[in-house]
């Protein structure tokens, strides 16, 4: 009886791991899409309201869903008071995003590059950078979508199957 319960627990756990991995693949595409939307929001906010960056980030964090909203919220919080080095604040927020989301290193690198140019140029040049970043992110989105279509089903079934296999081997 104990053996049976253990086997059931093992299969459940390994299936759960498989489902979580496949969820991660689909969550990544959703999050990249949200990131693109948030940068587009940033662009419109910049061109029409012309608030400080901190206020802009606060507004964006209200308009997006977690974990992207958490990223902007943290940025806004970190920029309270006097900020001497914007790049470190940005990088810290990116490490935070890396922990709280399913985004991969490549998107984060694009985002990091974007932060280097934020607030350094005139508006038209800034707009060019935004367009470039969105273009890069859209490329990543396409790649993530391909990966998702390829591996989503595989990870699901492999999780269940490997669980059953190991249980069978250990009986």
Q: How far is the CB of 8 from other proteins (least distance, A)?
A: 15
What is the total count of residues that contact other proteins (CB under 8 A)?
13
d(CA 142, CA 126): 24
Angular region, 161: left φ>0, alpha ψ -120 to 50, beta rest:
alpha
| Exposure of 105 in the CB half-sphere (CA atoms within 13 A) | 0
Binding mask 96-135 for other proteins (x = CB under 8 A): ----------------------------------------
Residue 164 contacts by C-beta under 8 Å, 6 or more apart in sequence? Answer: 11
Q: What is the CA radius of gyration of the chain?
A: 21
E strand spans, the chain:
none
Identify the DSSP state of 19.
H
User: Tokens 């399913």 label which residue?
Assistant: 102
7 is a contact residue toward other proteins (CB under 8 A): no
Binding mask 129-168 for other proteins (x = CB under 8 A): ---------------------xx-xx--xx--xx-xx--x
Q: How far is the CB of 146 from other proteins (least distance, A)?
A: 12
* Peptide linkage before 67 cis (omega within 30 of 0): yes
d(CA 64, CA 138): 18
Q: Which is nearer to other proteins, 83 or 165 (CB)?
A: 165
8 is a contact residue toward other proteins (CB under 8 A): no
Q: Which is nearer to other proteins, 130 or 163 (CB)?
A: 163
Q: Are 153 and 13 in contact (CB under 8 A)?
A: no
Q: Applying CB under 8 A, which of residues 1, 5, 82, 171 lies at the interface with other proteins?
A: 171
Q: How far is the CB of 168 from other proteins (least distance, A)?
A: 5
Q: How far is the CB of 164 from other proteins (least distance, A)?
A: 6
Q: How far is the CB of 171 from other proteins (least distance, A)?
A: 6
Interface residues toward other proteins, by CB under 8 A: 150-151, 153-154, 157-158, 161-162, 164-165, 168-169, 171
């Amino acid at each position: 009886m104990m053996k049976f319960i253990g086997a059931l627990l093992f299969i459940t756990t390994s299936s759960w791991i498989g489902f979580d991995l496949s969820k991660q693949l689909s969550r990544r595409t959703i999050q990249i899409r949200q990131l693109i939307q948030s940068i587009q929001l940033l662009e419109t906010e910049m061109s029409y309201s012309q608030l400080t960056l901190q206020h802009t980030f606060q507004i964006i964090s209200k308009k997006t869903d977690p974990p992207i909203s958490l990223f902007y919220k943290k940025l806004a919080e970190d920029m309270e008071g006097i900020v001497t080095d914007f790049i470190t604040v940005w990088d810290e927020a990116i490490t935070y995003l890396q922990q709280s989301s399913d985004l991969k290193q490549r998107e984060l690198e694009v985002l990091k590059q974007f932060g280097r140019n934020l607030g350094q140029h005139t508006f038209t040049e800034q707009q060019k950078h935004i367009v470039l970043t969105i273009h890069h992110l859209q490329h990543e989105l396409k790649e993530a979508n391909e990966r998702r279509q390829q591996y989503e089903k595989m990870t699901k079934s492999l999780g269940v199957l490997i669980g059953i296999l190991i249980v069978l081997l250990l009986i």
